[in-house]
Structure 1
Amino acid sequence: MADQLSISAERRTEFGKGAARRVRRADKIPAVLYGHGTDPLHLTLPGHATMMALKLTNAVLSLDVEGEQHLALAKDVQRDPIKRTIEHVDLVIVRKGEKVVVDVAVHVEGQAGPDTLVTTDYTEVSVETDFTKIPESFVVSVEGLQAGSQILAGDIELPEDVTLVTDPEALLVNVTQAISEEALEAELAEAESEAGIEHEEPEAAAAEGEEPAAEGEAPAEEA
């Protein structure tokens, strides 16, 4: 379930890419807080403390904004695609007793039956719950499942007061028959054979002293 993590924040009065870069150089993170019809509040968050807090998915932050107290859910975390450092955070205001819709990760565990292949179509599902009761993740087991078995979103065991928002018929995990080594080798051999046939004609033409006509060009007439 979601923990409330205390963070001290400052109001941000400078905007734009240049201002955001200056904030990050100071080991801080630009953020915006919105929700419940209030005007967006632009903030600066402490870099290390925020990074540690947001290691938890769907983290709920208890913000102290220069003496004002706010409860907020981390709705969107933008990261540098290479360094993976946090570049910006969108926070939505939550209030006690309020329900929220969030995405929760689905983890697959166990070993399916012999000669099977397990594929995962969805790695998370959407649920509605009180913001203080957000599950950290859901676990589904494929232990012993045979080819043809499927796990749907509706098969997840939900805690009390947690409602599934994702379509219950959404396919999470599919267990199929694994291709045998012999069948795989046969497919590779067939593919190699077809590739060889495609290159045979130009090679044969070159052997006879002729150049294959370029695509879309008519063959030259004999003198």
Structure 2
Amino acid sequence: MSQLAIEIKERTFNENAKKIRKNGEVPGIIYGEFMDNTLPIKVNSSKLKSLLKYNSKGSILSFKFKDEAKKCVVKQVQKDNLTGEILHVDFQYVKSNETIKMNIPVNYVGQENLESRKLFLETFLPELEVQGEVEKIPEYIEIDVSKKNYEDKIFSKDVELPEEVKLVTKPDILLALING
């Protein structure tokens, strides 16, 4: 998983979300098993956008809050459907070696080989739920489809995960199908 850095500021629940966004920040919240209360926050919008451009749900972020470094996982990013503007972000505070459940994206590689054989990949599930220690969960799962043939199916049980990470998604879920 990525080790990214981001600075956050605390906000009060009565701060207007529109005003926060107008000031170039995104409202959000941090929660976690090891926190007494949820923490309402605000994050610089442009920095958050650049971090989330290639790293979304499942990325570990190191954040600085009141001169203290913490780690969290991006749990949810709410965007405006028309503009793509980030409206709100949820983070889960985690400790090193903590066991958590989370969804991680599935990336397919080798699709150009399918296309050269007039085949295409039809995907049904963009991410899988896994459980493991924070540091051991991969940022994404990569599946090579270059040698797949017409009507080959890829199920969640076919995915290779690190030994320390368990699949939570049911094993018989169809992830993708090769069509012609």
Task: Write the distance in 2 (CA, Å) between the matches of 1:86 and 1:62.
Answer: 20
Q: Note the C-alpha offset of 1:22.
A: 0.7
2:36 aligns with one of 31, 35, 38? 38
Are the equivalent residues in 2 in contact too, given 1:127–1:163 (CA < 8 A)? yes
**2:173 is the counterpart of 1:170:** yes
Which sections of structure 1, spanning at least 5 residues, go unmatched?
179-223
Q: Note the C-alpha offset of 1:120.
A: 1.6
C-alpha distance after superposition, 1:64-103 (max 9, x if no partner): 2223443211111111112212111111110111122221
SS at 2:61 equivalent = strand
**2:10 is the counterpart of 1:29:** no
2:156 aligns with one of 142, 150, 153? 153
Return closer, same or farther for 1:12/1:175 CA change in 2, 3 Å cut-off: same
Aligned pairs for 1:64-143 (under 5 A) are 64-110=64-110, 111-112=113-114, 114=117, 116=119, 118-143=121-146
Q: Flag the structure with larger Rg.
A: 1
Are the equivalent residues in 2 in contact too, given 1:28–1:45 (CA < 8 A)? yes
Task: Write the distance in 1 (CA, Å) between the matches of 2:87 and 2:151.
Answer: 44
Taking structure 2 as the reference length, the TM-score comes to 0.84
Aligned pairs for 1:174-185 (under 5 A) are 174-176=177-179, 178=180
Q: Note the C-alpha offset of 1:115.
A: 6.1
Are the equivalent residues in 1 in contact too, given 2:59–2:139 (CA < 8 A)? no
C-alpha distance after superposition, 1:44-80 (max 9, x if no partner): 1122222222230222222222234432111111111
Q: Percent identity?
A: 28
Taking structure 1 as the reference length, the TM-score comes to 0.69
C-alpha distance after superposition, 1:150-184 (max 9, x if no partner): 111111121232211111111112234x4xxxxxx
Output the amino acid matched with 2:153: Q
Are the equivalent residues in 2 in contact too, given 1:23–1:30 (CA < 8 A)? yes
Aligned pairs for 1:185-204 (under 5 A) are none
Tell me the equivalent position of 1:7. 6
2:46 aligns with one of 36, 45, 48? 48
* Larger RCO (alpha carbons 8 Å, 6+ apart): 2
C-alpha distance after superposition, 1:11-56 (max 9, x if no partner): 112526xx11111111111111111152111111122222222230
The structure whose residues are more often helix, as a share, is: 1
Task: Write the distance in 2 (CA, Å) between the matches of 1:74 and 1:109.
Answer: 24
Q: Note the C-alpha offset of 1:104.
A: 1.6
- Stretch moving more, 80-89 or 142-151: 142-151
Return closer, same or farther for 1:169/1:43 CA change in 2, 3 Å cut-off: same
Which sections of structure 2, spanning at least 5 residues, go unmatched?
none
